[in-house]
């Protein structure tokens, strides 16, 4: 499968901004998705970037740079409920999605 790399853990305080990076392999790549997963739950979709640039959805934004094989998820005005694991997932040839190993976000008061 394709390899996607992201940091294992990030800690930030309530109200702050945090950026979670993801680098990916380019062969057969179509786009980059982001998912949130709370402990014991299922992953839920946050965003998808097929083109370079920034996509904004409320407090969350996602960015893609194909030339750098890199993307990030930006979370603003952090809230305690944002404490969760965040996964990047690349869409590749034949409609296959490959996931990074996840970034655990700890939001502190």
With 0-12 / 13-18 / 19 or more C-beta atoms within 10 angstroms meaning exposed / middle / buried, residue 79 is exposed
Residue 80 binds to other proteins (criterion: CB under 8 A):
no
Contacts to other proteins from residues 14-33, by CB under 8 A = 30-31, 33
Span near other proteins by CB under 8 A; candidates 12-20, 66-74, 75-83, 88-96: 88-96
Instruction: Work out how close the CB of 89 gets to other proteins at its nearest, in angstroms, rounded to a whole number.
Output: 7
Span near other proteins by CB under 8 A; candidates 10-18, 68-76, 85-93: 85-93
3-state secondary structure labels for all residues of the chain: CCCEECCCEEEEECCCCEEEEEEECCCCEEEEEEEEECCCCCCEEEEEECCCEEEEECCEEEEEECCCCEEEEEECCCCHHHCEEEEEEEEEHHHEEEECCCEEEEEEC
Instruction: Work out how close the CB of 6 gets to other proteins at its nearest, in angstroms, rounded to a whole number.
Output: 9
Instruction: Work out how close the CB of 83 gets to other proteins at its nearest, in angstroms, rounded to a whole number.
Output: 17
* Residues lying near other proteins in the complex (CB under 8 A): 1, 4, 30-31, 33, 35, 41-45, 48-50, 87, 89, 91, 94-102
């Amino acid at each position: 499968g394709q390899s996607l790399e992201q940091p294992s853990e990030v800690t930030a305080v309530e109200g702050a901004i945090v950026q979670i990076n993801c680098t990916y392999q380019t062969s057969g790549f179509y786009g980059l998705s982001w998912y949130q997963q709370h402990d014991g739950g299922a992953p839920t979709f946050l965003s998808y970037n097929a083109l370079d640039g920034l996509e904004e959805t409320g407090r969350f934004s996602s960015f893609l740079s194909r030339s750098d094989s890199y993307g990030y998820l930006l979370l603003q005005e952090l809230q305690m409920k944002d404490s969760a694991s965040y996964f990047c997932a690349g869409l590749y040839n034949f409609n296959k999605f490959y996931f990074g190993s996840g970034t655990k976000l700890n939001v502190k008061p």
